[in-house]
């Protein structure tokens, strides 16, 4: 099995597992987790230097899920990687579970509690600055939502990251064009988005956020950039992989019925078998 085939099948598996987890819990942020699955699959299975048996390894790459409400893909990937037993996914959002509805650093593999939007980039910039000061070589990655970019703290952190020449920092935007109420351009216009980040001193790489080779190439290129941080603008489809969820704002935190789950799983099974 080649690399792209592996990632394709793995992402399909992650999507199936996270949907079952959401339906079992009776709650969750469905469509945003589906849109970021391919990005996170490439990061965790291909890009980041991590040790599952040593989650606190000092030289590990760091990942911050700034769009913390889309935690379902994150937990599912961590369980699949072996950070904790997959059976624990059945406790998602249940009483006394550590798998709460936003990233919880009591879960192995989770660096920081997130959920209040606009904080992830600032945290990641601080980690990247700490690496520079400590002469460490690890990279810091943070995944942001496009609706999140209305938060002023994002742009303060972007300015600081450029000022401190944090070339060990990679920001990723899950650019699915939708947020909880409507299209991002109706709620708070972002365009010209790439030019905005470029004006803040960032290297910009725009990709199809569901194309594994483009994502791999972008992360590879980010490691070659010197003297400035990199922003990967990943164009995605909210609800990706499930036909009746794609590009529909109501699935931001919509809960599939048992019949809808069965349809979704059937569609996703055609995109890759469990491995």
Q: Point out the least confidently predicted range of 17-21, 153-157, 187-191, 204-208.
A: 187-191
Please state, in angstroms and rounded to a whole number, the distance separating the CA atoms of residues 217 and 200: 23
What is the structure's pLDDT at 274?
A: 37
Q: Point out the least confidently predicted range of 102-106, 237-241, 248-252.
A: 248-252
What is the structure's pLDDT at 273?
A: 43
pLDDT tops 90 at residue 163: yes
CA 122, 123, 125, 130: dihedral to nearest 10 degrees?
140
What is the structure's pLDDT at 275?
A: 33
What percent of the chain shows pLDDT beyond 70? 98
What is the structure's pLDDT at 24?
A: 96
pLDDT tops 80 at residue 272: no
What percent of the chain shows pLDDT beyond 90? 90
What is the structure's pLDDT at 271?
A: 60
Contact 172, 149 (CB under 8 A): no
> Domains of the chain (ranges plus CATH)?
3-269 (3.40.50.970)
SS3 25: helix
Contact 37, 75 (CB under 8 A): no
Q: Point out the least confidently predicted range of 50-59, 173-182, 205-214.
A: 173-182
pLDDT tops 50 at residue 21: yes
Taking the CB of residue 84, how many other CB atoms lie within 10 A of it? 18
User: Per-residue pLDDT averaged across 269-273, rounded?
Assistant: 62
User: Per-residue pLDDT averaged across 80-99, rounded?
Assistant: 97
Please state, in angstroms and rounded to a whole number, the distance separating the CA atoms of residues 245 and 131: 40
pTM for the full predicted model = 0.95
Helix (H) or strand (E) holding 266: helix 258-269
pLDDT tops 80 at residue 180: no
Structure tokens at 52: 């599952």
What mean pLDDT is reported for the chain?
95
Question: Which residue has tokens 């919509």?
Answer: 254
Those residues whose C-beta lies under 8 Å from the C-beta of residue 192, and which sit 6 or more positions away, are none
């Amino acid at each position: 099995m080649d690399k792209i085939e592996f990632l394709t099948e793995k992402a399909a598996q992650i999507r199936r597992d996270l949907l079952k987890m959401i339906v079992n819990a009776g709650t969750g942020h469905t469509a945003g987790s589906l849109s970021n699955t391919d990005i996170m699959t490439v990061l965790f299975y291909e890009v980041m230097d991590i040790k599952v048996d040593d989650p606190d390894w000092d030289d590990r790459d760091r990942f911050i899920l700034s769009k913390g409400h889309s935690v379902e893909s994150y937990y599912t990937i961590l369980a699949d990687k072996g950070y904790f037993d997959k059976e624990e996914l059945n406790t998602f959002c249940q009483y006394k579970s550590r798998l709460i509805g936003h990233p919880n650093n009591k879960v192995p593999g989770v660096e920081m509690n997130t959920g209040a939007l606009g904080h992830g980039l600032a945290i990641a910039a601080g980690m990247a600055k700490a690496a520079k000061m400590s002469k460490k070589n690890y990279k810091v990655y943070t995944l942001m939502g496009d609706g999140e970019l209305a938060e002023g703290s994002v742009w303060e952190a972007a300015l600081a990251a450029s000022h401190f020449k944090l070339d060990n920092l990679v920001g990723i935007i899950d650019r699915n064009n939708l947020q909880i109420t409507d299209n991002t351009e109706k709620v708070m216009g972002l365009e010209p988005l790439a030019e905005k980040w470029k004006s803040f001193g960032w290297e910009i790489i725009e990709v199809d956020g569901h194309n594994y080779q483009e994502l791999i190439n972008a992360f590879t290129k980010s490691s070659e950039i010197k003297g400035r941080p990199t922003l990967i603008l990943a164009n995605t489809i909210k609800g990706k992989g499930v036909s009746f969820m794609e590009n529909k704002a109501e699935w931001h935190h919509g809960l599939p019925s048992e019949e809808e789950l069965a349809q979704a799983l059937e569609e996703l099974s055609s995109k890759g078998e469990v491995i």
